[in-house]
Structure 1
Amino acid sequence: MGSIAFFRHAQASFFSDDYDRLSEHGQRQAHLLGEHWRSQDTRFGKVVVGPCRRHRQTAEIALAVSGNGTDLVELPEFDEHQVDQLLIEHRHSIAAEFPDLLPLVAALDQATERPEQARRFQFLFEAITGLWLTGKVSRPGIEPWVSFQSRVMQGITKVLADPDFGSRQSRQIAVFSSVGPISIAFQVATGCSNAAAVATGWRLRNCSLTQAMFSKDRFTLDCFNTLPHLPDPGDWTFR
């Protein structure tokens, strides 16, 4: 059997002008991942990254520190969904449609301290994700849940079907992506519902490992949201 290791990107620059880059702490997380690989002599025959800079940065730092010279393969199928865009650009119009969200929107708009902003953002983010998941909310240019789910599944199929995976080493695959795609991988492995996949995905920490074992007709969860490379809980983050 082969293994496919899904890594959520390290901490990005939340609430900055450019979210899609690693924070200093995120760079440390990726560095520690690389050190762990080096200490365990962990090597991958193929390393896949989503199209976001935070995906590539995490992989590049970890590979450089570990001494693994594996080239990166970028696949757009492992891009994150656009619910953050729904929240940032359309939260007020969405709340007008769903008045139960009005207090959550007001709380986020009024928050001034970063910890409180992050907490209020997550409350609203989860609520809007639930509406997007069930097709109750859509906006032009925003990929629907069904399309997102299909895209990620196609990406997983593409990676597993790659003829390069014939040798023993190349059957050890790493994929660097985000919460959404890793939640879909969890769903494929467990057969859980859409709602359960999304709810479970909220627990994914930055730079965490979720791994599946695969063969010709099997794709089985081996571990979820583990952090063997970050033994100090002080290094753990969700955003």
Structure 2
Amino acid sequence: MPEILVVRHGQASFGSENYDRLSELGWQQARWLGEYWAGEGQRFDRIVSGDLQRHRETALGICEGLGLEDRAVEELPQLNEFDFKRVMGAYGEKNPQAAPQQGAVRADYYRFLKMAMHAWSSGEIDGAESWQQFEQRIEEVLGVLSAGVKGGRTLVVSSGGAIAMMVRQILGAPSHSVTQLNMQIKNTAVTHFFAGRSGVSLHSFNHVPHLDNRLRREFITYS
């Protein structure tokens, strides 16, 4: 039965001019995951990522940890994150009093993003793509991934919102669950799916076996 292991990218550069690149910790998180899998004897028949910089760098870091520096990574833009800046900007234009002020703490931005995602999913605001278009491309890419390697194992690197939408669709959960799930997903966390004749099923969600120990728990991040 085909397995799909979907990894959220490593810690990005929150607060910098280019959020889309990994921080030094983000690189290390990715390498640690690859090293963990190498120690467990894990192998992958296919490696796929979105085409955002943080996706490419995370895939590269994992491959370095696995000892696969020359391994080719297939890019599928359908795995990219929704344009959260556009969604937040649209919500801020409609609700300027809710927008975080300069110097606000990270938690204020997360609360604002949560409100903006709810407004986007309910059709109150427009993003770069509609909520329905976001749902459709994630549904399509799940089909591509599940059909990719018969009986093999596929490693996927994506983003929190896209992974949350995958889980929502597979479980048949309501739309608002995407926002709740998205806020929980850790950097380089692994969500494990199986693909069978009856469709894709969820095996585990949001695991960080490479970080969940007393020496590394302080390096668990969410941005």
Determine if the alignment matches structure 1 residue 50 to structure 2 residue 50.
yes
What's the counterpart of residue 131 of structure 1?
119
Give the whole-Å Cα distance in 2 for the aligned partners of 1:49 and 1:150.
18
8 A Cα contact 1:189 1:221, kept in partner: yes
Length, aligned pairs only:
219
Q: Please tell me whether the aligned partners of residues 36 and 210 of structure 2 are also in contact (alpha carbons under 8 angstroms).
A: yes
How far apart, CA to CA, are the structure 2 residues paired with 1:92 and 1:213?
39
| 1:102-158 superposed Cα distances (whole Å, 9 cap, x missing partner) | 1x31xx214x2xxx431111111100110001111115xx10110001011101111
Question: Which residue in 2 is equivalent to 1:81?
Answer: 82
Tell me what 1:99 maps to: none
> Aligned-pair RMSD on alpha carbons?
1.5
Equivalent residue letter for 2:192:
Q
Counterparts of residues 37-116 of structure 1 (less than 5 Å): 37-68=37-68, 70-87=71-88, 89-95=89-95, 102=97, 104-105=98-99, 108-110=100-102, 112=103, 116=104
Unaligned runs of 5+ in 2: none
Counterpart among 151, 155, 161 of residue 174 in structure 1 = 155
Identity across matched positions, percent = 27
For residue 86 of structure 1, report the CA deviation from its aligned partner: 2.7
Q: 1:91: Cα distance to partner? A: 4.6
- Output one character per residue of 1:170-215: Cα deviation in whole Å (capped at 9) or x when no partner: x101110001110121123211111123312211011100011111
* Structure of greater Rg: 1
Closer, same or farther: CA 92–134 of 1 in aligned 2, 3 Å: closer
Alignment counterpart, residue 147 of structure 1, candidates 129, 133, 155: 133
Which consecutive aligned stretches of 4+ in structure 1 deviate over 3 angstroms post-superposition? 89-92
Cα distance, 1:192–1:86 mapped onto 2, change above 3 Å:
closer
Q: Is the contact made by 1:46 and 1:70 (CA closer than 8 Å) also made in structure 2? A: no
Partner SS state of residue 213, structure 1 = strand
d(CA) in 2 for partners of 1:13 and 1:62?
18
Q: What do the CA deviations read for 1:13-61 (whole angstroms, capped 9, x no partner)?
A: 0110111000011111011111101111111101110011101100111
Q: Give, as a single letter, the amino acid of the residue that structure 2 aligns with 1:155.
A: V
Of 4-13 and 182-191, the range deviating more from structure 2: 182-191
Partner of 2:209: 228
Question: How far apart in 2 are the matches of 1:148 and 1:3?
Answer: 23
User: In structure 2, what is the Cα distance between the partners aligned to 1:131 and 1:91?
Assistant: 7
After TM superposition, the score normalised by the length of structure 2 is 0.93
TM superposition score normalised by structure 1 = 0.87
Q: Give the number of the structure whose residues are more often helix, by fraction.
A: 1
- Give the whole-Å Cα distance in 2 for the aligned partners of 1:9 and 1:211: 15
Question: How many angstroms apart in 2 are the aligned matches of 1:20 and 1:4?
Answer: 24
* CA distance, structure 2, for counterparts of residue 90 and residue 72 of structure 1: 34
Give the Cα–Cα distance (whole angstroms) in 2 for the partners of residues 196 and 86 of structure 1: 17
Distance 2:92 2:162 in 1: 27
Q: Identify unmatched segments of 5+ residues in structure 1.
A: 97-101
